[in-house]
Amino acid sequence: MRVGILGSGLMGGKLGTIFARAGHEVVFSYARNMEKLHELARNAGKNARVGTPREAAQEADAVLLAVHWSRLDDVLSQAGDVSGKVIVTCSLPMNEDNTELVVAHTSSGAEQLEKRIPKARVVAAFNTVPSEVLFGVYERKRKAGRPSLVYCGDDEGANGVAAELIEAAGFDPVNAGPLRIARYTEPFALLVAQLAYEGAGGPELAYRFERFKK
Ligand SMILES: NC(=O)c1ccc[n+]([C@@H]2O[C@H](COP(=O)([O-])OP(=O)(O)OC[C@H]3O[C@@H](n4cnc5c(N)ncnc54)[C@H](OP(=O)(O)O)[C@@H]3O)[C@@H](O)[C@H]2O)c1
């Protein structure tokens, strides 16, 4: 599928590279330095190129939104009309210094985003793992015991698109339900970040849910 990357930093840069290597057509956009975008596209291979946020969004079957919360309005205004588009967001509603969620409990960043672009089909995914683990998971893709990755969204078709990208990246997609479940997944992402960045063992951390049956 064609995947537009809005925000080509730690998350967008790595996920875009992974999607391109997995065979999807990727357009990197939205960084302060065009040369960085070109280098990303070169490293990601023949399926990747650079575009404006508008090109990345308008030509895409799925858009990955991977910007800091404070850049949301700016990137969306540059992307143009996203009505009907599948928007997979890994963006967490963090304050400027990334220490706290600024939306939580009675709403979530994903729900606020859906209110901002009500005609788009928003799915929250990839927000619960640190960028440092992404290449490692992708490299182990064909091995047993894939890590889980929770996602949630209100549109069945969009959820299917997100699940396809999650699988392409080497994770086992776990449908957590409607978009309001992002009220749980977003704080969970902070738990994973706490373990990744403050715990022993380094940030290459993913998680796996197991069901135990008798
Ligand atoms: N990093 C993680 O492990 C992680 C995990 C889960 C969720 N998240 C969430 O994912 C989202 C993206 O995180 P990230 O770590 O990938 O952020 P990041 O590395 O800072 O990437 C953000 C991208 O936005 C671009 N950008 C920022 N300000 C801009 C501006 N004024 N004009 C144009 N481009 C601008 C950056 O450009 P430059 O490339 O020029 O800096 C970069 O490409 C955030 O909402 C974060 O909370 C991150």
Residue 212 lies in a domain: no
Q: Which domain holds residue 174?
A: 2-198
Angstrom distance (rounded) from CA 213 to CA 201: 31
User: What integer pLDDT is reported at residue 174 of this predicted model?
Assistant: 98
3-class DSSP state of 102 = coil
User: What integer pLDDT is reported at residue 163 of this predicted model?
Assistant: 98
User: What integer pLDDT is reported at residue 172 of this predicted model?
Assistant: 98
146 to each of 48, 94, 136, how far by Cα in Å? 26, 28, 11
Q: Which atom of ligand 1 is nearest to the CA of 11?
A: 16
**CB of 40 sitting under 6 A from ligand 1:** no
Residue 44 lies in a domain: yes
Q: Which atom of ligand 1 is nearest to the CA of 91?
A: 45
Helices 10-21/156-168 angle, 10° precision:
80
Enter the tokens of residue 181.
């479940």
User: What integer pLDDT is reported at residue 1 of this predicted model?
Assistant: 98
Residue 161 lies in a domain: yes
Q: How far is the CA of 29 from the centre of ligand 1 (A)?
A: 11
Q: Is the model's pTM score more than 0.95?
A: yes
Residue 114 maps to which CATH number? Answer: 3.40.50.720
User: What integer pLDDT is reported at residue 170 of this predicted model?
Assistant: 98
Low pLDDT (below 70) residues in the chain:
none
Closest CA to 105 of 185, 45, 197, 175: 185
User: What integer pLDDT is reported at residue 214 of this predicted model?
Assistant: 77
User: What integer pLDDT is reported at residue 106 of this predicted model?
Assistant: 98
Question: What is the count of structural domains for the chain?
Answer: 1
